[in-house]
Chain A
Amino acid sequence: MNWFSLHLRAFVLALRRLVAQPLGTLLSALVVGIALSLPAAGYLLLDNVASLARGVSGTPEISVFMAQDASAADIAAIEKRLRADGELAGYRHVPKDEALRQLERSGLGDVLGGLTSNPLPDAFIITPGSDDPAAYEALHARFTAWPGVAHVQLDSAWVKRLHALLGLGQSAVLLLAGLLGFALVIVTFNTIRLQILTQRHEIDVSRLLGATDPFIRRPFYWFGTLQGLLGGGVALATVWATVQALGGPVASLAETYGAVFTLSGPGLRESAAILGFAAFLGWLGSAISVRRHLAERLT
Chain B
Amino acid sequence: MIVFDEVVKRYPGGYTALAGVSFEIPAGELAVLSGHSGAGKSTLLKLIAAIERPTSGTVRISGQDVSGLRRRAIPYLRRSLGLVLQESRLLYDRSVFDNVMLPLLITGHPPRDAVKRVAAALDRVGLAGREREMPAGLSGGEQQRVAIARAIVNRPSILIADEPTAHLDTDYAAEIAALFKSFNAAGVTVLVSTHDKRLFAEHKPRGIVLGKGLLIEEAA
Contacts and interface: CB of A to CB of B under 8 A. Distances in A.
B71 interface: yes
Interface of chain A, helix or strand or loop or mixed? helix
B2 interface: no
Contacts of B108: 1, 5-6
The interface size bin for chain A is 10 to 19
B103 interface: yes
Nearest to B79: A210
A213 B108 CA distance: 14
A202 B90 CA distance: 9
B103 A209 contact: yes
Interface in B71-86: 71-72, 74-79, 83, 85
Instruction: Categorize the interface residue count of chain B.
Output: 20 to 34
Instruction: Name B's interface SS.
Output: helix
Interface in B22-58: 49, 51
A210 to B, nearest CB: 4
Interface string B189-211: 00000000000000000000000
A272 to B, nearest CB: 33
Contacts of A9: 105
Contacts of A206: 102, 106
Interface string A216-245: 000000000000000000000000000000
Interface string A42-80: 000000000000000000000000000000000000000
Interface of B: 49, 51, 71-72, 74-79, 83, 85, 89-91, 102-103, 105-110, 150, 154
Given A208-B89, A215-B106, 9 more contacts: A204-B89, A205-B90, A205-B91, A207-B75, A208-B49, A208-B51, A208-B78, A209-B106, A210-B78
9 contacts: A201-B91, A208-B49, A209-B78, A210-B77, A210-B79, A210-B103, A212-B106, A299-B51, A299-B74
